[in-house]
Chains A and B, each alone.
Chain A
């Protein structure tokens, strides 16, 4: 009965699976999920820092993948990139709406505080030490790295990044842009 067993072959072409899913092929979708589910949950969990919420968002992400797989265009990027972009967007939206809710809940006690957690660049750096296994970030300067980490992993906007780091918005934008471009160029140079 269960031929076409669900086994995630590492060489499996995610792009092909995604396109088959777009055609309503639930088996391909299951294989796609098996190959990428842990990656998506890991990313979402890193942003949300809450296991239950992260699992919920992961499920929403894959439902969205199922619904909108037809909009994936292989000529414009990898399937994994498409999927993780979608996952990151949802995680960030969730963490921001949670932050907004929390701000509303505590409005009366934090009217005078712009950011409840006043973290300097140094402590932000320190907090990240434990998880610093990101070889991709190793090509960056320290300032680029913290700007990108705050944006990508903590879901901050570039305005919030500038506030958190205590630097002008233009500086934050430059760090984000230059850092990300450097990562891109590193990819192009091969690893």
Chain B
């Protein structure tokens, strides 16, 4: 393309407002104009008005996205930190335009066993619930608390713990009772509109739902029997849970023997 003097729009810098509002500027012009914008209220107003006018240009262009896109997106945001919201001081910031791709690559690198991360964690997931955590009532009693205690007290109870970036997830299995319990510590609440779902993961990578983590509790008796499972996994699912995992697990705790 034509050579121009980079970053030097000259005295008619104001005239770039329209081209800028249409994204019809090259990166150098964009940077220079944004610098100008910071100190020019008139241009800020004009850009805002002109940008508003471009809304009408796409009025008749709607194309319905496939449902899979929606599902994927809602999974992604569950593990995507927001700018300007309180964050626990951990994990990298995700600001770059290629963040999604990078994260996919990173996840792919860390995945094994049909997508289950044994002892792995998406660090951001833990931080994301910080806003929602105070929105949930803490007064619902946990109906399974007694059964949980039975498993914990069983003479053959076996514990396996995984650390999840500050939180810990412990699975306690009691073969004599054919039941298992999950205990969490320092784990933030599931994001609003979603639940932590527990899964018995089998050697071939299949997952069988073991129920939901209670929103107001840090322990739960798993539904079903642990026999045959090689790990207990946790995923974030739409409220109420899913038939099968629809997102990558935030942690999988291997089971003994």
- Where the two chains meet, the residues of A that have a C-beta atom closer than 8 Å to any C-beta of B are 1-2, 4, 22-27, 29-30, 33-34, 37-39, 41-43, 45-46, 54-55, 58-60, 62-63, 66-71, 76-78, 80-81, 84-85, 88-90, 92-93, 114, 133-137, 148, 151-153, 155-161, 163, 173, 176-177, 180-181, 183-184, 186-187
User: Nearest chain B CB to A1's CB is how many angstroms away?
Assistant: 3
Contact A89 B23 (CB under 8 A): yes
CB of B182 within 8 A of chain A?
Answer: no
Give the size of the chain B interface in residues (CB under 8 angstroms).
64
A76, A90, A134: the one within 8 Å of B56 (CB): A134
Closest 7 CB pairs of A and B: A1-B240, A136-B56, A42-B61, A24-B131, A70-B84, A151-B24, A177-B18
User: Nearest chain A CB to B11's CB is how many angstroms away?
Assistant: 13
Contact B61 A159 (CB under 8 A): no
- Where the two chains meet, the residues of B that have a C-beta atom closer than 8 Å to any C-beta of A are 1-2, 4, 15, 17-19, 21-26, 29, 44, 48-66, 69-70, 72-74, 76-78, 80-85, 94-95, 97, 99-100, 128, 130-132, 191-194, 238-240
B19, B21, B48, B65: the one within 8 Å of A41 (CB): B65
Contact B94 A163 (CB under 8 A): no
Contact A158 B81 (CB under 8 A): no
Q: Given A59-B72, A62-B73, A180-B18, check contact A77 B51 (CB 8 Å).
A: yes
B60, B95, B192: the one within 8 Å of A133 (CB): B60
Given A37-B64, A136-B59, 9 additional A-B pairs, CB 8 A: A38-B62, A38-B65, A84-B54, A135-B56, A157-B26, A160-B1, A173-B18, A180-B21, A184-B50
Q: Which residue of chain A has its CB nearest to the CB of B77?
A: A66
User: Nearest chain B CB to A163's CB is how many angstroms away?
Assistant: 7
User: Cα distance A183–B69 when bound, in Å?
Assistant: 33
User: Nearest chain A CB to B234's CB is how many angstroms away?
Assistant: 18
Which residues of A are found within 8 Å of B81, using beta-carbon distances? 67
Q: Given A63-B73, A180-B21, check contact A88 B65 (CB 8 Å).
A: no
Contact A26 B53 (CB under 8 A): no
Contact B2 A159 (CB under 8 A): yes
Which residues of A are found within 8 Å of B94, using beta-carbon distances? 67
User: Cα distance A43–B63 when bound, in Å?
Assistant: 8
Contact A177 B19 (CB under 8 A): yes
Contact A39 B62 (CB under 8 A): yes
Contact A26 B22 (CB under 8 A): no
Contact A88 B85 (CB under 8 A): no
Contact B69 A23 (CB under 8 A): no
Contact B193 A22 (CB under 8 A): no
Which residues of A are found within 8 Å of B57, using beta-carbon distances? 134, 136-137, 148, 152-153
